[in-house]
Structure formats: C-alpha cells, structure tokens
C-alpha cells in the first residue's frame, strides 16, 4: 500500500496541537497573535522555555534557535552573567523613580565602544529611539522633511513607516522611488514628509538629495544588516553627500550593533551625527537608545535651562534593563564577535554551496551574525530585488525546518546566531536545509 504524502503544513498541524490550542485561546483577547511579528500560517508556535541556543515549545519539541528573538538574544537565553545581574538588581528594586547610577555605567559603556557617541539617552524600544532622534534633527535644523531608504525599517511611527514594504506596482521608478504609506491610520500628510532613496545607487542618492536638500532635516540610514548587502563605499558616499549639503545623518544600528564592538559604523568607517540602538542593548528586556554629538544631545539636558526639547518616559533607563544590557555588552568581547561572525561566514558559505550543488535558485547573505535566506536569483542590491523573492517557498522551507528541529525567522530573513552556538549547530542547519529542500521540492 502506497504511503500517503501529507503537506508540510498538515504535518506541522499534527505535531503542534497545543500551539494551535494556545493560539485559538488567545485570538479573542489579543486580536490574533500577541503581536504581528509572531504570526505565520497556519498559527505560530507557542514556546514554553529556553536555555542557551535551544527553545522548547508547548508540545515538547526542541529547536536550535536561529531566530534569536528578532536578533536580540546575542548571548543566548538565560546567560548566567545576565541572570546574575538581573537577580542582583531585582533585590535592589525594579523601578525606583530616580537615577540609580547603573544607567550612567551603561551609557559610559556604550560611549566607550562607539566613537561617535558623546552622549546617549535610553528609551523603551527602537521605535522610540528613532522618534526622538528625528525630533532632535527636525528641531535643530528647523526643517520638517526627512529622507529614508526604500525598504528601510525604523519602527512604527508615522514619520518613518513609509516605503518599508511598498508594493512594486506603487513604488515608482527605481531611481526616484515614490513615498508609500506603510500602515492604515497614518496621518494623510506623513508620506509627503518623506523623500525615499534607493539603496546602493550613489548617483541617484546624490541627485535626489541635491534636489530636496533645502527642505530636509536629515537622512535616516538603515543599513539593512544581514538583510541586504549594503556596500561600505555606498555608506561612505551617503555620509559625504549629507555632509556636502549640511544635513544630519541618523544611522540606525538597532540590528547592526551586533556586527562588532563599534557597530556597523566602525566597520563602514562613517561618523553619523546621531545613532539609534535597540535589541542587544537591553539584554533581552525592552530597550531603545539614541545618542551622538554633544551639541545635539545637550538640547535634551534640562540642567542647562529651557531648550524646547524633552525626552522622558516612566520606564526609560529602567534599572532592570540597564543591568541586563550592561552585563550583555561586557560579554561581547572581540573574541566573542570573532566567534559569532566566523560561524556566520561558515553558515552562509555552507548554504550557498548547498544551493549551487542542488541547482536551487537561492542565496544566503549575512552581516556579522545576522543572516537571511532568499529564494531568488540575481544580485541583491535594492529592496526591489528582495521583493522578488519566492515567499511561499520560504514559508514551506521554514515549516520543514521546524520538523528538523531548527527555528528560524518564519520569512527566513533577519535570522541570527547566538554565542553558545558551535560549529555542530552550523553543520546541523546546513544538513537540515538539504532535507527540508528534499521535503519541499519532492
């Protein structure tokens, strides 16, 4: 009797009944998943616990974690030094309503690592970081329009949620992209306040900025770390173009700070005026940070008298977050970065060798220890190249990898390694990818 072949989705349903039950229980009270990024079809996994680079779901299945909570858990889950720091701070107090000193230690650590940071302020998310950095830029320049790159993501507020994932039939010319609102309910004026630039095209960026420089407060640059190969010389060109026109450059290191001690700006050799941080800076807790030139950041200093600027928030610089973040950064030594980035080199090389050997139109790319896998042929230079990728194929492979015991981002983009990983985990994922391709391609 011929064995019946079931789809990878049906197989997923059979293996994860408790995750299905948890999702259905939550839908009436959380509007689907607890947050949009968790969701994939037919329903997301519900996790029970984690340690090191391993996850376990509510059905008892274990996974090597290559999703890494959107790249935040660079030391892995429940790292001893982070847990020790959090427990010590817990004994002192969770939120004391006054400075505790640990926020100063954390700021000093960051300023010591990133050459362009004279001052730094802490907030609760990357979204808040970009919001406050933009306010500084607009107030300082007394201009309202900003420029950002097509496909660049800087959080979920009206000023930046423009042309993040624009449909290609609305995106306009490659060399002069249209400004496309990215979410329902945005201000009708939001898109008009944003000039959209193409990645990896120095000539187009120079022309567009020269045409609009008199109205621009700043250029916000997301290097798409691990999601798009942005050439260092392009980043340096953007810096020079902004400098030529007297525009502030805000660099988004929310993902890229994973690349090395000084972040991607050190790797690229650029000196932004302001930089936004998040993710690994909180050691697993909610966090955002922004900082840069003293003359800009000092506009937020109330001890200098009224300036018209402000930044605060009940949980900004929360001591629990500061403790976890400081413990995390102190573990990120040069040898730790060498280990992580070396594993990423090995992983992408192994995956690309596999794709070539099997004749699969796919490619793996990485920046530091963040990597993405795209089922697409041709060069990856712009958002539009990424938009051509076969998302249905990515989803099928993602589900097939779950059965193999590997948990990646469900889009297979912005996946990430963690410090506890070893060569065996890298070899394991490459071997699992081959089995997943066998399963999906037949």
363 plus 308 within the same structural domain: no
- Domain annotation covers residue 3: no
As a whole number, mean pLDDT of residues 19-38 equals: 93
Q: Alpha helix (H) ranges present in 193-303?
A: 202-212, 232-244, 263-268, 294-297
The answer to whether residue 2 is domain-embedded is: no
Structure tokens at 121: 């302020």
What angle in degrees, to the nearest 10, is found between the helix axes of 423-441 and 391-404?
120
* pLDDT confidence band for 67 (50 / 70 / 90): very high
Which residue matches tokens 């795209």? 374
Residue 150, domain CATH? 3.40.640.10
Based on the fold, state whether residues 272 and 375 are members of the same structural domain: no
Residue 118, domain member (yes or no): yes
Q: Which of 57, 222, 252, 273 is catalytic?
A: 252
Distances in whole angstroms, Cα of residue 245 to Cα of each of 212, 216, 234, 239: 10, 10, 17, 10
Say which residue, 48 or 37, is predicted with more confidence.
48
Q: What is the pLDDT of residue 4?
A: 55
Task: Give residue 160's domain range.
Answer: 80-331
pLDDT in tens, 412-435: 999 999 999 999 999 999 999 999
Percent of the chain whose predicted confidence (pLDDT) is above 90: 97
Q: Are residues 322 and 343 in the same domain?
A: no
Please indicate, yes or no, if residue 211 is contained in any of the structural domains.
Answer: yes
- The one catalytic residue in 158, 279, 374, 383 is 279
Domains held by the chain: number: 2
As given in the structure block, the two tokens for residue 32 are 């689907």
148 labelled catalytic: no
Strands (DSSP E) contained in 140-228 are: 145-149, 194-197, 216-221
Instruction: Quote the pLDDT of residue 2.
Output: 41
Question: Against a cut of 0.85, is the pTM above it?
Answer: yes
The residue written with tokens 């700006």 in the block is 265
The reply to whether 30 falls in a domain is yes
Candidate list 153, 374, 383, 406, residue with the active-site label: 153
C-beta neighbour count of 117 within 10 angstroms: 26
Q: How far apart are CA 182 and CA 25, in angstroms?
A: 29
> How large is the average pLDDT for residues 265-269?
97
Same domain, 30 and 91: no
For residues 51 and 82, is the Cβ–Cβ distance under 8 A?
Answer: no
Among 331, 352, 374, which residue terminates a domain? 331
Active site residue 338: no
Write down the pLDDT at residue 442. 83
Given a cut of 50, is residue 264 above it in pLDDT?
yes
CATH number for the domain spanning 60: value is: 3.90.1150.10
Q: Tell me the C-alpha distance between 232 and 305, whole Å.
A: 40
Contact 123, 321 (CB under 8 A): no
Q: Is residue 1 part of a domain?
A: no
Contact 372, 226 (CB under 8 A): yes
What is the Cα–Cα distance from 316 to 417, expressed in whole angstroms? 28
pLDDT tens figures, 204-259: 999 999 999 999 999 999 999 999 999 999 999 999 999 999 999 999 999 999 99
Quote the Cα angle for 148-152-157, to 5°: 80
Is the separation of the CB atoms in 242 and 219 below 8 Å?
yes
Same domain, 42 and 135: no
Q: What are phi and psi of 160, to 5 degrees?
A: -125, -15
**Angle between helical axes of 319-331 and 80-92 (0-180°, round to 10):** 150
The CB-side HSE value for 185 (13 A sphere, CA atoms) comes to 2
How many angstroms separate the CA atoms of 172 and 162, rounded? 14
The lowest-confidence range among 1-5, 308-312, 326-330, 342-346 is: 1-5
- Residues 34 and 103 grouped into a single domain: no
Q: In which order are the strands placed within the sheet that holds 47-51?
A: 47-51, 54-57, 62-65, 406-407
- Residues 354, 399 within the same domain: yes
Within 8 A by CB and 6+ apart from 94, the residues are 318, 319, 320
Shared domain check, 409 and 419: yes
d(CA 152, CA 165): 8
Q: Are 209 and 242 in contact (CB under 8 A)?
A: yes
Is residue 168 one of the residues assigned to a domain? Answer: yes
Instruction: Answer yes or no: do 138 and 41 share one domain.
Output: no
In a domain, 117, yes or no: yes
Query: Looking at the structure, do residues 201 and 279 belong to the same domain, yes or no?
Result: yes
Pair (314, 416) in one structural domain: no
Instruction: Tell me, yes or no, whether 230 and 318 share the same domain.
Output: yes
Examine the pLDDT at 292 and tell me if it is beyond 80: yes
Q: What is the pLDDT of residues 387-415, one digit of tens each?
A: 999 999 999 999 999 999 999 999 999 99
Query: Once rounded to an integer, what is the mean pLDDT over residues 184-191?
Result: 93
Instruction: List all residues 6 or more positions away from 133 whose beta carbon is below 8 Å from its beta carbon.
Output: 220, 250, 274, 276, 290
Q: Which of 298, 331, 364 delimits the end of a domain? A: 331
The answer on pLDDT for 268 being more than 70 is yes
Domain end position, chosen among 285, 300, 331:
331
Confidence grade of residue 147 (pLDDT, cut at 50, 70, 90): very high
Kindly tell me if the per-residue pLDDT of 3 is higher than 70: no
143 is catalytic: no
Mean pLDDT of the chain: 96
Query: Whole-angstrom Cα distance, residue 216 to residue 382?
Result: 23
pLDDT of residue 330: 98
């Amino acid at each position: 009797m011929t064995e019946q072949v079931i789809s990878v989705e049906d197989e997923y349903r059979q293996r994860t009944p408790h995750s299905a039950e948890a999702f259905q229980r939550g839908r009436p009270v959380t509007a689907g998943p607890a947050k949009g990024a968790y969701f994939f079809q037919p329903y997301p996994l519900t996790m029970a616990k984690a340690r090191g680079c391993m996850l376990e779901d509510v059905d008892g299945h274990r996974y090597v974690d290559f999703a890494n909570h959107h790249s935040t858990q660079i030391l892995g889950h429940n790292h001893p030094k982070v847990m020790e720091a959090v427990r010590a701070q817990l004994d002192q107090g969770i939120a004391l309503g006054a400075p505790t000193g640990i926020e100063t230690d954390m700021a000093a650590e960051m300023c010591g690592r990133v050459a362009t940071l004279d001052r730094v302020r802490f907030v609760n998310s990357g979204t808040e970081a970009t919001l406050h950095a933009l306010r500084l830029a607009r107030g300082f320049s007394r201009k309202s329009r900003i420029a950002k790159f097509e496909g660049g993501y800087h959080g979920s507020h009206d000023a930046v949620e423009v042309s993040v994932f624009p449909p290609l039939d609305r995106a306009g010319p490659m060399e002069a992209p249209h400004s496309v609102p990215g979410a329902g309910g945005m201000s009708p004026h939001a898109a008009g306040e944003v000039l959209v630039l193409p990645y990896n095209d120095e000539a187009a960026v120079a022309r567009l900025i020269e045409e609009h420089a008199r109205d621009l407060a700043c250029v916000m640059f997301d290097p798409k770390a691990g999601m798009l190969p942005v050439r260092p010389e392009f980043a340096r060109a953007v810096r020079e173009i902004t400098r030529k026109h007297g525009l502030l450059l805000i660099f988004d290191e929310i993902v890229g700070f994973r690349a090395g001690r000084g972040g991607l700006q050190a790797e690229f050799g650029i000196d932004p005026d302001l930089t936004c941080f998040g993710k690994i800076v909180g050691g697993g807790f909610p966090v955002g940070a922004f900082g840069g030139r003293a003359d800009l950041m000092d506009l937020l200093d109330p001890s200098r008298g009224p300036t018209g600027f402000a930044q605060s928030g009940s949980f900004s610089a929360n001591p629990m977050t500061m403790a976890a973040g400081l413990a995390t950064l102190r573990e990120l030594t040069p040898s730790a970065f060498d280990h992580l980035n070396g594993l990423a080199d090995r992983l992408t090389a192994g995956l690309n060798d596999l794709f070539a050997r099997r004749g699969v139109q796919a490619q793996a790319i990485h920046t530091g220890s963040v990597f993405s896998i795209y089922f697409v042929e041709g060069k990856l230079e712009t958002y539009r190249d990424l938009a051509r990728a076969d998302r249905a194929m990515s989803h099928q492979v993602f589900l097939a990898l779950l059965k193999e015991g590997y948990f990646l981002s469900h889009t297979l983009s912005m996946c990430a390694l963690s410090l506890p990983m070893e060569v065996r985990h890298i070899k394991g994922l490459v071997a699992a990818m081959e089995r997943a391709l066998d399963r999906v391609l037949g």
